[in-house]
Amino acid sequence: MIRTENLTRLFGDKKAVDSLFLDIQPGEIFGFLGPNGAGKSTTVKMLTGMLAPSGGTALVAGYSVSEQPLEVKARIGYVPETGALYESLSPDEYLEFVAALHHLDLASARHRVDELLELFSLLDVRGQRMTEFSKGMKQKVVLCASLIHRPEVLFLDEPLSGLDANTAMLVKTLLKRLSEQGRTVFFCSHVLEVVERICTRIAIINGGVKVVEGTAQKIMDETGSHTLEEAFARVTGVRDAAELTSDFLAALEKA
């Protein structure tokens, strides 16, 4: 469903993503992890057709992101980390707009808007402009917009950001159900507990290079770690958190 070979992206001389190989099957929830600036978002932008690769190839839902970007875009849903949407519109207006962009007829669009708004408990505010919405409510609308055209592949960049515990649980369950239907989920998050719990496979990227890939258990075994968090820290080379915090607290006490 997602296959990349030698996928590379340069910004000037800097390699944001360096020769990335991925092979993700239908029905997988694939966790894509990395520290800030590691190249996760650049990878997602290339896979969603938002940014042209500098080198290599990428196929999503059977289509090349470079050669057939519109075919790819028709089959994917995307939740950006920015949670961007047109806030001056109401959820109803925004979702109908997105439905029109995906060529859904009006009746189907209205039906799906109703379904999604009900699922995310937004029916009461469907006609209100989103300028007054909380971050979590806006995130719910972004999630609805990514699902309205029933995509084959979902790219989620921090999808649980701002969501309350109940909605987060709902989204996690929904993702599992979607994967059972054979849809592929590409999941980027810094919440490692969630990634560990729901992802069937995980890759960790650092400095644009994939450093490890496999199931959570395999990664822990390979790195000799007890938790995914510990494994992540080891492969991305951060200083010991306990040591860092004690330095800071000592400085704070002196002040």
Partner 1 sequence: MLGFLFEALEVDPRQWGAMVRVALKLDLRRGPKLGASRDSESGLRNLVFLLIMQFATSIILLTLVLRNQNTLLTSLLVLGFLMLMVVSSLLIDYNTIVVSPDDYWILSHRPISSRTFFLAKVTGVVVYVALMTTALTIVPAIGFGFVGGFRPLVAVGAMVGFYTSTLFCALLVVGVFAAVMTLVRPTRLRNALSYLQLFTSLVFYGGYVFLPQFFDTFESQMSLATDPWLLLVPLSWFAAFIQLASGDYSWPVWLGVSLSMASCFGLGFLAARRLSTGYMRALAEAQAAGAGTAAGKREGKITSTRLFKSHEGRAIAVLLWNQFRFDQKFRLAVLGILPLTVFYLFMAVSEGIQDPFRGLDAAMKSGNVLYVAVLLFPLMLKPSLTYSEWHEASWVFHTTPVRRERLLASLKNAVVIYFLAPYLLIVAGVFWWFYESAWHAAFAVGLAGLLAYVLLQLSILTSPDLPFSKPHGRSQRSARLLVVFMIGPAVGYTTPIAIGAVAQSPILLAGLVVLPASLAVALEFLVKWRIRRMA
DSSP of 2-26: EEEEEEEEEETTEEEEEEEEEEE-T
41 backbone dihedrals φ, ψ, rounded to 5°: -65, -35
- Rounded to whole angstroms, the Cα distance separating 194 from 198 reads 6
Q: Judged by CB, which is closer to partner 1: 70, or 242?
A: 70
> What is the nearest approach in angstroms of partner 1 to the Cβ of residue 106?
10
Q: Which of 23, 26, 89, 225 binds partner 1 (CB under 8 A)?
A: 89
Per rule CB under 8 A, is residue 74 in the interface with partner 1?
A: yes
Per rule CB under 8 A, is residue 129 in the interface with partner 1?
A: yes
80 backbone dihedrals φ, ψ, rounded to 5°: -75, 155
Say whether 49 sits in a helix, a strand or coil: coil
Q: Judged by CB, which is closer to partner 1: 135, or 197?
A: 135
> What is the nearest approach in angstroms of partner 1 to the Cβ of residue 78?
4
Say whether 66 sits in a helix, a strand or coil: coil
Per rule CB under 8 A, is residue 7 in the interface with partner 1?
A: no
Q: Which of 24, 38, 76, 194 binds partner 1 (CB under 8 A)?
A: 76
Q: Judged by CB, which is closer to partner 1: 45, or 210?
A: 45
Q: Which of 86, 115, 169, 193 binds partner 1 (CB under 8 A)?
A: 86
Pairing of strands 153-157, 76-79: parallel
Say whether 235 sits in a helix, a strand or coil: helix
- Rounded to whole angstroms, the Cα distance separating 42 from 26 reads 22
Amino acid identity for residue 166 in this structure:
N
Per rule CB under 8 A, is residue 50 in the interface with partner 1?
A: yes
Residues contributing to the site for partner 1 (CB under 8 A): 11-12, 14, 16, 42, 45, 48-52, 70-71, 73-74, 76, 78, 80, 82, 84-86, 88-89, 93, 97-98, 100-103, 129, 131, 155
